[in-house]
Chains A and B, each alone.
Chain A
Amino acid sequence: MIEWLGRGRSKPLGVQDLAPLDALELGTRPRALASAMPDLMVEAKNLAASLIAGLHGRKRAGLGHSFWQFRQYGASDASSRIDWRRSARGETLFVREMEWESAHTVRFSVDMSSSMRFASPDAREPKRDRGVIMALALAAMLTKGGERVGMIGGERPKTGEAALSIMAQELMRRDTDKSGKHRWADMTAVKPREDVIILSDFLFGEAERTKLFGQLVSRGARAHFIQIIDPVEEAFPFKGRMRFDPLSRHDSAILSGRAENWREPYQELFQGLKDRMRRIARSHGWSHTISHTDRPAATPLLSVHEALSRSKER
């Protein structure tokens, strides 16, 4: 029986119920990103809106034009800079001095490899969609704060609503191609102290991972890893004789005689992967957030946003 039982449901696993090879044929199911994008966009905006509303009144992220100090008027100051309201309270004239700031730049990269298209029956959406939603939602929140956002390897980051639609278009362009591989864009465009948000399952090879981290370090970027995990990948609820099919053509299937015997070693390995990611992030002062596709995206989104705020303050 091609069947496994997770939480009492007996729906077969699948890339949105598809055989592995079909998953690689673009433009068919799961929905190409292009067709899914309007929905994802709406979802992302809703998510952002709810979070911004939730943030209000607690701790203003301070990404706006914040007040710095009042200073006594000097001769070199232009008279137009006098803050009359403050000056009217006393004898002396004051100048209102704002914090010097330029708009911050945040760059995104969403993993579009075929493994990201996987969704188990318990998941709310494929990992790719989760990545896109979170990227867009973050971008929406950031542009509200006046930040510049953009895709790595894409157009120059921009502010405002326009940046969102540009990002969406670029995401669509980067949708999984036949190879099923994600091409990590060149990091050279990234400037030091810029924030880079990587949304991926980080299930690609160790070598590729090391290369990516090396680039980030060398560019002096502040990276934020959002690791997207399907519940099945963590729980490994398989039993009996199982064949594990690859989602890309580069791998071959793996057969297990008694899958339940593999559960513990596998879970150790998976935990190891998460630990390694966290360790790397901490050692560089980056952030590492886990988003499970069977849970709401809001919580990890908030913590990423917080991490962004903190990194900016530094």
Chain B
Amino acid sequence: MSALSFLAPAALLGLLALPALWWLLRATPPQPSSTPFPPLQLLAQLTDDDVTPVRTPWWLLALRLLLLALIVLAFAGPIWRASEALTLPGESEQPLLIVMESDWASAATWDARRAQAERLIDAASLQNRPVGLVAYPQPNQALPLPGDRSEALAVLETLDPHPVEQDFTALREDLTALLQNSAWSNSALVVLTSGLANEVDNTLWATLTENRPVSFVAGDPPGLVTLLDGGRDGPAMRLISIDNMTSTATTATAYDSAGRSLATVPIRDDQGTVKERIAFDLPLDVRNDIARIALLPTRHAGQVVLVDDRAERRRVGVVSGEGRDEAQPLLSGTTFVERALEPTADVVTPRSGEVAREIEDLIESGANVIVLVNVASLVPSTVERLDNWMERGGVLIRFASAGLTQSTDALTPVPLRAVDRQLGGTLTWDEPKAIAPFSLQSPFSGLSIPQDIRIERQVLSEPGALLAERTYAELTDATPLVTGEDRGQGYLILFHITPETSWSNLPLSGLFVDMLGRLVNLSAVHLTGSAQTFAPQAQASAQASAERGQEVQTGTSTLSPRSTLNAFGVLGAPPGHAEGLQLSSGITAVTLENPPGFYGAMDTVQATNMFAEPPVLNLVRAEDLQASGLRTLTIGPDEARALRPGLITLAVVLALADAIIVLVMSGALSNIKPARFRRSAKIVASSLTLLFAGGLSMMLIGEALAQSASPSGESERLIAAASTTRFAYVRTGDSELDQRTAQGMAGLSLILNQRTAFEPAEPFAIDPLVDELAFYPLIYWPMPSLAMTVSDALVARVDAYMNNGGTILFDTRDEANIFGTQSVSPQTQNLRALLNALDIPPLEPVPDDHVLTKAFYLIDSFPGRYASGPLWVEALPQGQTIADRPARGGDGVSPIMITGNDFASAWALSADGRPLYSTVPADPLQREFAFRSGINIAMYIMTGNYKADQVHIPALLERLVQ
């Protein structure tokens, strides 16, 4: 072949048009500016010393002709030094099938491979041979048919390497089937190998080459291969050199899940040899963030390892029943537990306030350990779920609380006595106790006990045979401090103290941290029985329905692909053919459908890597093929230079030059002054501003539309509830009672508006199961006389409301019905049913010094329609009574108040402001006191212990004077 050839020689005919163009160009000089000018006769007198170029100057003409010639040449597609022809196997007219290996190893040199395929296709088309292209492995590949060059090139466009190992057995089967197809039965083959093979290889090619002309093109070996190698020093990378060849990669870099580079280390040591293992010397928390380690520059998927968070760290969920901890979060038990657990585990602290749901969510998300802080009672369904979870290896650590002794659930390792024990108080003889040395059977054995730890209060267990063996730690008087019990593969552990410092100073010590660490290590890293740890998104959402639990136990679960590696080692969106990862079979092999990558939902990502074990890799070089009697074909790098891009570039440059020359000749450039630049800059700036402002306003309009679209009837009610403070009352379904309650709450609101600065809006009737409770500071809940159903959902919502700072005023309205201690009214029965399930603090009748008695009016009783019943509130902390303090408020507001005095009937006013229901006994003063009670309750709820502080002002002033 000649040194210069053309792809489209016909285009050269365009050169014939050049003379015509020359004539045209000469005939049209550049257009001058024109202006009328009266003193033409004067101008005519001027000598023609500066000759007007009526004609285009010759050099400009030459420039333009050159420009056009270049364009014509470029269209002809000249190629400089087209490479020598390839000797294709087989005779002419025989169809040619190109077989490409497109496995991970081929990705390293995929561009070269593709160029080789292109050259083969070109060569075949030169010989007028039908050509087809097939690649293995390749998903959804249409069977190729012999076609022409453009068809084959189109197929080549669609081929990509895939990050899987070559399955030679499948390759042989597929290829054999394809070759038996009549279209290819009489074909010649060219095989582009990836440069790697296994033993099957030679026989494979031998069967194919039996009676066909076949040529092989050897691929380039893929360089280094890496494996994930965990260890004490965090995720590391093992390097395997296939061919001892010098690798192009120079460094290894660790990335976190967001793709940020964390650390980079060279892969060679000082002597220049490639290290076998690469670890990253990083702080622990940074090391835990490593999600991907890649060799740079990355050549193929085998040079990237992905790291998931299935590390040794367990997930611990801390569930607190004390929403009111929020007032002083740093003193709460949750904080102590969190801080103590942080070094050993991933701590999750849900804050929804609904204990049951939090526990469910934690179990769903695969927590290994759940810590219950200040949770006294659990609903049966939750207990069942926790039991189930412990059977599978979960560890439940429970801390005692004041309410635990009254707990109705059985989730304690030992039965508890109904009273706790206080040591070292004013009314006790005993000194606070120290901790006895741990026994050898205890999980704490070997931990040293600081001498200054003292336990002042503990819950006690009923003595029993099992107590001794279930005691993990005890005090010096042999009473239990920590008890535990095996539950299936898991444990149920009870600390007989609270996790904060009110009962003991253990939580302040390092021993506490060590003890919790030991307990966390009791849990199974992977809970057995299901792959629930890595619950996939789809299933997780399905499990949100009521009957989760059972479903999880059965069957295998599937993880949807999240992001996967392509063959070039780039992490990206999963390809279309990717499928969910079946977790049934332990270690999952990488397949076409399961490319290496991250699988599963956000919290439970599982990573699969190109290689889980060192791969068996045999190099196949050209000489190896020749040695086994196969014909090889060498396709050198394509050295042909297509001249078209250069020609077009040159033509563009010339066109620009021509434009500039024309401008200069017409004098346009000399007119450009700085002022004009400024003006055009201003125009550009203002148009940009306009564009920006336009875009912004579009966004704003869109947002406004979106906002105006949303509100409807229900949300209007929510907005009303949120925008004005108001009371709520529970709709019981008893219409007479509901009407009375509505009148009563309206009456109280009216009186509050009249007398106080607190002006509540009209009260709302709510259904605690349906309506959002968060907006209301006080919910008045009259107990109906009909039986009430107490569902878990109701309990959970009410619990959450109280935990989050709301107050419920229960009114049994039965003060008059009580004829004796034996009889219990249906209202009270309803209340008991509800309160049994609720996690409520200890209660007491309002003491004389309670802030409720001084919140607005000074009162000593809380009468409603009936005067005799007490008002029960959360018991104030004991032992803080100080004589000179006239009022105590405790921290926060009592979440619950119980009365039997039928407040609502006393508060009920008619439209003209007259009372509707007489008090019992009929006494106007009692109604006044009923209103005062209501006002004090409202003030107490709105202001908390502020009044208690305020009544100290005289004392404070006195101190200031001193």
List chain A positions with a Cβ less than 8 A from chain B: 1-5, 8, 12-15, 20, 23, 115-116, 118, 127, 201, 203-205, 230, 232-233, 238-247, 251, 253-262, 265-266, 269-270, 273
* B residues less than 8 Å from A243 (CB atoms): 32-35
Minimal Cβ-Cβ distance residue in B for A272: B42
Q: Which of B51-59, B286-294, B633-641 contacts A (4 or more CB under 8 A)?
A: B51-59
Are A203 and B38 closer than 8 Å at their CB atoms?
yes
Are A255 and B32 closer than 8 Å at their CB atoms?
yes
What's the least CB distance linking B392 to chain A, in Å? 85
Given A4-B33, A12-B35, A13-B36, A203:B667 Cβ within 8 A: no
Minimal Cβ-Cβ distance residue in A for B35: A13
Are B50 and A242 closer than 8 Å at their CB atoms?
no
Chain B interface, >50% SS class: loop
Are B38 and A242 closer than 8 Å at their CB atoms?
no
Are B38 and A115 closer than 8 Å at their CB atoms?
yes
Are A254 and B44 closer than 8 Å at their CB atoms?
yes
Does B39 have its Cβ within 8 Å of any Cβ on chain A? yes
* B residues less than 8 Å from A8 (CB atoms): 675
What's the least CB distance linking A2 to chain B, in Å? 5
Q: CB < 8 Å: which of A2, A251, A257, A258 contacts B35?
A: A2
Does B40 have its Cβ within 8 Å of any Cβ on chain A? yes
Give the CA-CA distance A174 to B80 in the complex, in Å: 77
Give the CA-CA distance A273 to B43 in the complex, in Å: 12
Are A1 and B666 closer than 8 Å at their CB atoms?
yes
Q: CB < 8 Å: which of A232, A241, A244 contacts B667?
A: A241
Does B880 have its Cβ within 8 Å of any Cβ on chain A? no
Are B36 and A245 closer than 8 Å at their CB atoms?
yes
Given known contacts A4-B33, A242-B33, A247-B37, what 20 new A-B pairs fall within 8 Å (CB)? A1-B666, A2-B34, A2-B35, A3-B671, A8-B675, A12-B35, A13-B37, A203-B41, A230-B38, A233-B39, A239-B667, A241-B30, A241-B52, A242-B32, A247-B40, A254-B40, A256-B43, A262-B43, A262-B50, A265-B47
Are B39 and A265 closer than 8 Å at their CB atoms?
no
Are B42 and A244 closer than 8 Å at their CB atoms?
no
Does B700 have its Cβ within 8 Å of any Cβ on chain A? no
Give the CA-CA distance A233 to B43 in the complex, in Å: 11
Given A3-B671, A255-B54, A256-B52, A241:B33 Cβ within 8 A: yes
What's the least CB distance linking B907 to chain A, in Å? 84
Are A247 and B38 closer than 8 Å at their CB atoms?
yes
What's the least CB distance linking B41 to chain A, in Å? 6
Give the CA-CA distance A233 to B35 in the complex, in Å: 12
Given A8-B675, A258-B667, A201:B38 Cβ within 8 A: yes
* B residues less than 8 Å from A246 (CB atoms): 36-37, 40
Give the CA-CA distance A261 to B36 in the complex, in Å: 18
List chain B positions with a Cβ less than 8 A from chain A: 30, 32-47, 49-54, 665-668, 670-671, 673, 675
* A residues less than 8 Å from B665 (CB atoms): 240-241
Give the CA-CA distance A57 to B675 in the complex, in Å: 50
* A residues less than 8 Å from B666 (CB atoms): 1, 240-241
Are B46 and A266 closer than 8 Å at their CB atoms?
yes
Closest 9 CB pairs of A and B: A240-B667, A115-B38, A243-B34, A244-B37, A241-B32, A13-B35, A255-B52, A257-B52, A245-B36
Are B36 and A203 closer than 8 Å at their CB atoms?
no
What's the least CB distance linking B903 to chain A, in Å? 87
A-B contact pairs, 29 of them (CB 8 A): A1-B33, A1-B671, A4-B35, A5-B671, A8-B675, A12-B35, A115-B38, A203-B38, A205-B41, A233-B38, A233-B39, A240-B667, A242-B35, A243-B32, A243-B35, A244-B37, A246-B40, A247-B36, A247-B37, A254-B43, A255-B54, A257-B51, A258-B50, A258-B667, A261-B49, A261-B50, A269-B42, A269-B46, A270-B42
Are B32 and A262 closer than 8 Å at their CB atoms?
no
Give the CA-CA distance A4 to B32 in the complex, in Å: 12
Give the CA-CA distance A301 to B191 in the complex, in Å: 102
Minimal Cβ-Cβ distance residue in B for A239: B667
What's the least CB distance linking B60 to chain A, in Å? 13
What's the least CB distance linking B819 to chain A, in Å? 107
Given A241-B665, A259-B667, A262-B50, A3:B33 Cβ within 8 A: yes
* B residues less than 8 Å from A203 (CB atoms): 38-39, 41-42
* A residues less than 8 Å from B33 (CB atoms): 1-4, 240-243
Minimal Cβ-Cβ distance residue in A for B49: A261
Are B46 and A14 closer than 8 Å at their CB atoms?
no
Are B35 and A240 closer than 8 Å at their CB atoms?
no
* B residues less than 8 Å from A115 (CB atoms): 38-39
* B residues less than 8 Å from A13 (CB atoms): 35-37
Give the CA-CA distance A262 to B39 in the complex, in Å: 13
What's the least CB distance linking B661 to chain A, in Å? 12
* B residues less than 8 Å from A5 (CB atoms): 671, 673
What's the least CB distance linking B49 to chain A, in Å? 8
* A residues less than 8 Å from B671 (CB atoms): 1, 3, 5, 239-240
Minimal Cβ-Cβ distance residue in A for B670: A239
* B residues less than 8 Å from A238 (CB atoms): 35
